[in-house]
Structure 1
Amino acid sequence: MRLYRSFKATAAVCSLLLVGACGMFAESSTSSSSSGFNPPDIEAQSKLGPTEGQVNLVSWAGYVEDGSSDPKADWVTPFEKRTGCQVHNKVAASSDEMVKLMKSGSYDALSASGDASLRLIASGEVAPVNTDLVPNYEDVFFGLKEQSWNSVDGKAYGIPHGRGANLLMYNTKEVSPSPMSWSAVFDDASKYKGQVTAYDSPIYIADAALYLRETRPSLDIENPYALDQEQFDAAVDLLKKQHADVGEYWSDYLKEISSFKSGDSVIGTTWQVIANLAESEGAKVKAVLPQEGATGWSDTWMISAKAKHPNCAYKWMDWIISPKVNAQVAEYYGEAPANIKSCDETSDPAFCDTFHATDEGYWKDIAFWTTPIEQCLDGRENIKCVPYAKWVQAWTEIKG
């Protein structure tokens, strides 16, 4: 369960927890099919009607800003003026909370992460999205379209919002030589006993699986979110071994920055924006994408199958990925934008380079969070994979 991942927004409420251009116009080769995964038969909206005067959203902090947290961050007010749809937003603290809120039937749309999206699709809580009703969808990077966390068998269940990678950060004075592999926090973690930090979430099991995919080929791991029992047990065992060397599991970005500044942590998982902030505050750190690749996150705006204000919801989805607005959100939040044209709208000319927004080659090495389900997402048949509920249970055991 991911907690607040917003940075500027969270700073205002810091007691809350976080939980190259070449190829960017090419069609993605990633299959969107989840073999054996058959969600309820729900039709996408065929056309837009009159707006209903309001829209009720569930989002991560920092995604729906009206100027109340930061006067410079307001993309809600112009939306309301343009559409007549008054925005009512509920900030969620975790993916589990998002799922629970959507099941209440009180919300029209949400910004779902990959560890929640398939749960919502499978339960029929969200409807497919008619992308023809979202004009700005045309300019979304193809690497974010029709992926396993936002589509099923080529049918879109949402509008991509942005993306980010889970990187390896280390103290440049304390860690030498510079690590190029996740082995630094797994097999070699004892070198930094008590000073290793790891992301506090069941989805972190996928990080171990990704490492094992490269280092233990006999396990035949193809997708770190599609693990049979043997593969899952191997990942859990690796994390239980790592636990002895972990000084802190982080979910609050402020605490991770503080820990690296004080020296309590010298190596562990991070996000690019955390590394940037830590360095700006004097921490001697560097973040790298290890040779095995990494896990990552891409959030998706999804519409409730029971939406009372679907036309305003569609207007919002188109607005939030429009070039200027998507650039504003990306900079405020700390992620690569979803819209190709947003890179021309950022206030920092180097922003998209820093966050690898147009480098599709970079993202090919990122395994984006996807909800683990019994139907193996790697296409294997006649075998059951370990579902997310058991990941949650195992995470409790890992942490003791």
Structure 2
Amino acid sequence: MARTQSALPLLCLTTATLLALTACGTSNGSTEGQGSAPELTAQAEVGEGEGSLSILAWPGYVEDGTNDPAVDWVSSFEEETGCMVDFKPFGTSDEAVTLMRSGQYDVVSASGDASLRLIAGGDVEPVNVDLVESYEGIYPFLKDQLWNTVDGVNYGVPHGWGANVLMYRADQVTPAPTSWRSVFDDAEQNSGKVTAYDSPIYIADAAVYLMAHNPDLGITNPYALDADQLAAAVDLLKAQREHVGEYWSDVVKEVQSFASGSSVIGTTWQVGANIAQADGADVKTVLPEEGATGWSDTWMIGAESEHKNCAYKWLDHIASPEINAQVAEYFGESPATPAACELTQDASHCETYHSGDEEYASQIWYWTTPVADCIDGRTDVECTDYSEWTKAWTEIKG
């Protein structure tokens, strides 16, 4: 069984590791902020709201009734706090990092493949979780983790989480797959109809597979790959590339591909499977025997924000059980707080998304930004950082 970081002894990132990330550059090759990680301090108290709040987030995290009149948790926030929300959605973590570096946004929902880059770049600041009343009720396994904590200092409030599961057309893929082998070593069986997530972080999915099937490589954490381990993952993904019909970053478009039959097997989020099934597609999902990568999103505060009181009020609002239940159900993920499970309209929502299922959660490796200082504890070798993964991903896709 693959083990998630949350199942291991706490290994919060150190400043030295963060410095390595700061110097490694970004996906576009820039190296701003080299030399030292900014020394920023958290807010000491929360006062009156400043009247406005600019939010950068994944689509579906900030709903004001525009898309669906029945889906609105922004209006209540505005009424209660006087903080008027301006929302900008992003499509990928790389886009979120680029936009956040403009300094225009007060808060951001960052996945683990973006959060450490934002911390290292000085784009977000520490968060005083004592000022967020809802923080106490969040699942312990989401707190103080590699993707949201440095030197014991919290940089945000955990939000929803989930696994990157294997989805397949049950009417076209037989027997039912139980392993990631179906999209790697056995991908030829569905050549041209395999799909994969379009991001450098997908390299970790290959590493999870190699960790189980090629133990001689010595991989113990899919986000801590030395040069040889990265090369092995790249070789596996290049071989897979011959059989991939489509790389996806938009889950709705992926669902359409499964509905049409142009894709029949590949990685997805559970919400993708739910949409496909609701539309009548004969798809099923499985958490493969090797375990899987996944995500735990974190709400973070922009270092240049001029509306930090409103920012703290938003963090408390979005993490409260009532609102967390609404977001998790609408977006399609497990809520960050167990109390939300009692408040979802669909009584089986948390069961569907395995909320509180420690056995299930223990098989997930949550997205964590690769850095040069190996987060698996090795000190005799240098690991590859995100910029190297980005170069490798370009090479893989050709």
Task: Return the TM-score normalized by structure 1.
Answer: 0.90
Superposition pairs for residues 321-340 of structure 1, below 5 Å? 321-340=319-338
- Contact 1:109-1:313 within 8 A present in 2 as well: yes
State how far apart, in whole Å, the 1-side matches of 2:225 and 2:211 are: 11
Cα distance, 1:245–1:152 mapped onto 2, change above 3 Å = same
Aligned to 1:389: 387
Aligned to 1:243: 241
Q: Is the deviation greater in 81-90 or in 348-357?
A: 81-90
Shift of 1:28: 6.0
Q: Which one-letter code corresponds to 2:254 in the other structure?
A: E
State how far apart, in whole Å, the 1-side matches of 2:83 and 2:191 are: 53
Aligned to 1:138: 136
Aligned to 2:302: 304
Shift of 1:86: 1.2
Partner SS, residue 276 of structure 1: helix
Aligned to 1:67: 65
Shift of 1:284: 1.6
> Which deviations, in whole Å up to 9, do the C-alpha atoms of 1:192-243 show, x marking residues without a partner?
1112111111111110011001111111111111111000000000000011
Does residue 282 of structure 1 match 2:280? yes
- Contact 1:54-1:87 within 8 A present in 2 as well: yes
Task: Return the TM-score normalized by structure 2.
Answer: 0.91
State how far apart, in whole Å, the 2-side matches of 1:309 and 1:334 are: 29
Aligned to 2:17: 37
Cα distance, 1:158–1:30 mapped onto 2, change above 3 Å = farther
Shift of 1:30: 4.5
> Which deviations, in whole Å up to 9, do the C-alpha atoms of 1:290-319 show, x marking residues without a partner?
000000111100011222111110000000
Q: Is the deviation greater in 339-348 or in 247-256?
A: 247-256
Partner SS, residue 247 of structure 2: strand
Q: Which one-letter code corresponds to 1:37 in the other structure?
A: T
Unaligned runs of 5+ in 2: 1-5, 19-36
State how far apart, in whole Å, the 1-side matches of 2:137 and 2:295 are: 20
- Contact 1:28-1:142 within 8 A present in 2 as well: no
Aligned to 1:14: none
State how far apart, in whole Å, the 1-side matches of 2:206 and 2:8 are: 25
Superposition pairs for residues 125-164 of structure 1, below 5 Å? 125-164=123-162
Shift of 1:263: 2.3
Q: Is the deviation greater in 47-56 or in 209-218?
A: 47-56
State how far apart, in whole Å, the 1-side matches of 2:383 and 2:233 are: 13
Partner SS, residue 77 of structure 2: helix
Shift of 1:90: 1.5
Does residue 197 of structure 1 match 2:195? yes
Aligned to 2:261: 263
- Contact 2:7-2:362 within 8 A present in 1 as well: no
Q: Which one-letter code corresponds to 2:129 in the other structure?
A: T
State how far apart, in whole Å, the 2-side matches of 1:297 and 1:107 are: 22
State how far apart, in whole Å, the 2-side matches of 1:391 and 1:179 are: 28
Shift of 1:34: 2.5
Unaligned runs of 5+ in 1: 1-26
State how far apart, in whole Å, the 2-side matches of 1:113 and 1:396 are: 21
Match of 1:185 among 177, 180, 183: 183
Aligned to 2:82: 84
Shift of 1:360: 1.9
State how far apart, in whole Å, the 2-side matches of 1:42 and 1:376 are: 25
Shift of 1:377: 1.6
The aligned length equals: 374
Match of 2:361 among 357, 360, 363: 363
Match of 1:254 among 224, 247, 252: 252
State how far apart, in whole Å, the 2-side matches of 1:249 and 1:308 are: 39
Percent of pairs with identical residues: 58
- Contact 2:53-2:86 within 8 A present in 1 as well: yes
Shift of 1:355: 0.6
Cα distance, 1:93–1:279 mapped onto 2, change above 3 Å = closer
- Contact 2:91-2:249 within 8 A present in 1 as well: no
Cα distance, 1:230–1:162 mapped onto 2, change above 3 Å = same
